[in-house]
Amino acid sequence: MDKKQDAFPRIVIIGGGFGGIQLAKKLKNKPVEILLLDKHNYHTFQPLLYQVATGVLEGDSIGFPIRRIFTHQKNFTFHMAMVQKINFDNNTVIADAGEFEYDYLVIATGANTNFFGNKELEHFTMPMKNIAEAQNLRSLMLQNLEKALVTKDKAERDALLTFVVVGGGPTGVELSGALSELREYILCKDYPGLCNADMKVYLVEGKPVLLGAMSPQASVKAKQFLSEMDVTIFNSVHVESYDGNMLKIDDGTTIKTRNVFWAAGVRGEVPAGIPPEIIAKGSRIQTDEINRVQGCKNVFAIGDVSAVISDANPAGFPGVAQVALQQGKQLAKNLINIINGEPTTPFVYTDLGTMATIGRNKAVADLRRLHFQGFFAWLLWMFVHLMSLAGFSNKAIVFFNWAIGYFTRNSDNRLIVHHFNTKTMMTDPVAR
């Protein structure tokens, strides 16, 4: 067992996402010992995963080594470990890398794709919640374009060139726009013999509007932008089934396609050992106003895996990066106050705004009472996301890629790194 040092209380953080990283940073030079556990050795900037999936960026440019982030933080230790269970009785975290003691535990494991219990959709559709999944999505898309170029079967060719994005939130809208731009600027150039009219892009959303969490102005404008980019939009419908060949929607529509990308929901990544009675809707852990897990004195949860439910906030806070960042910052203060025997301060979320980009010079932005659409919103989106990336090298690489892409309307990141059997959605042995 990995035992804590006696000098300072040990705070174990599970998860190197926005919340966990922010919390660890804010505890720098504090009289605590910090141990961060994550199954990856890098932090992922998830808002740009769709650009990895569509070949705009390479995966390395949106991932940054966790150890590099904390190079000069002396009270910080990192272990790459897959957490298997939390043992509340003896204050330990059991992982594949060992068993770790804690004085205070913070669960910041984030969220994963929610297929709402549909195993067929889970098997045949492509999610996009991490770098590996984004690269898999890109490989499948490019592989199908290659197949479409040589197949003699028109029905199969049409299916290979039909792309369906399920989910009309920011991820689905941005991915749909990026696919449309790939069709507009890349398809004919890279695949002579295919033309833009051959490739179809559909967006399926269960709500009556796109970007339902944003302002009505943003929703309307986003739909207008996508419609102008020849994306076919289905609102107020749900996917019933997809068997790898035929997608069925509950309004009776069927679409023959080899490409279904799932961005329709998320569920919290809850470690084993959490009592089921405190897990709320969406697989989120219920906490009090200072993010302390219900029924626990020294265990906390922040970010997408947490649910601060109250009469004023019955659904909890939205699963966005700003919530995790603000919770991490506030919890750092509260943990020090708890250790020092001082009063804590309830978490209050400040909504700084929401943005989504649809394509070249097209974006929507809600900044509190201010609403922007078009070119200025697009510039604002790029600036905010560029500045939010970890590390100067990542900022420079992404800016360089964006600049090259803007002026050339092209990129060099369209590599097929995995080969899929599109009948089974399994990696072919030859590619391993």
Task: Report, as residue numbers or ranges, the catalytic residues.
Answer: 174
Q: What strands, in cross-sheet order, belong to the sheet with 370-373?
A: 354-359, 362-367, 370-373
Which among 113, 21, 46, 36 is positioned nearest to 79, based on CA atoms?
A: 36
Decide: 218 and 168 in contact? Cβ < 8 Å: no
Decide: 326 and 306 in contact? Cβ < 8 Å: no
Q: How far apart are CA 30 and CA 75, in angstroms?
A: 8
* Helical ranges in 27-78 per DSSP H: 49-53, 66-69
**Cβ atoms within 10 Å, residue 376:** 12
Q: How far apart are CA 58 and CA 223, in angstroms?
A: 28
Q: What is the dihedral of CA 200, 121, 111, 55, to 10 degrees?
A: -30
How far from each other are the two terminal CA atoms of the chain, in whole angstroms? 35
Q: How far apart are CA 321 and CA 323, in angstroms?
A: 5
User: Structure tokens of 58?
Assistant: 């390479």
Query: Is the Cα torsion angle 48, 52, 58, 63 positive or negative in sign?
Result: positive
**Left (φ > 0), alpha (ψ -120 to 50) or beta: where does 370 sit?**
beta
- For β-strands 63-65 and 42-44, DSSP reports them as antiparallel
Q: How far is CA 275 from the centre of its chain?
A: 26
Burial of 282 by CB count in 10 Å (0-12 exposed, 13-18 middle, 19+ buried)? middle
Q: Is 345 helix (H, G, I), strand (E, B) or coil?
A: coil
User: Structure tokens of 246?
Assistant: 């035929």
Which among 263, 184, 215, 231 is positioned nearest to 223, based on CA atoms?
A: 231
Decide: 73 and 405 in contact? Cβ < 8 Å: no
Residue reference for tokens 């699963």: 319
Q: How far apart are CA 292 and CA 406, in angstroms?
A: 46
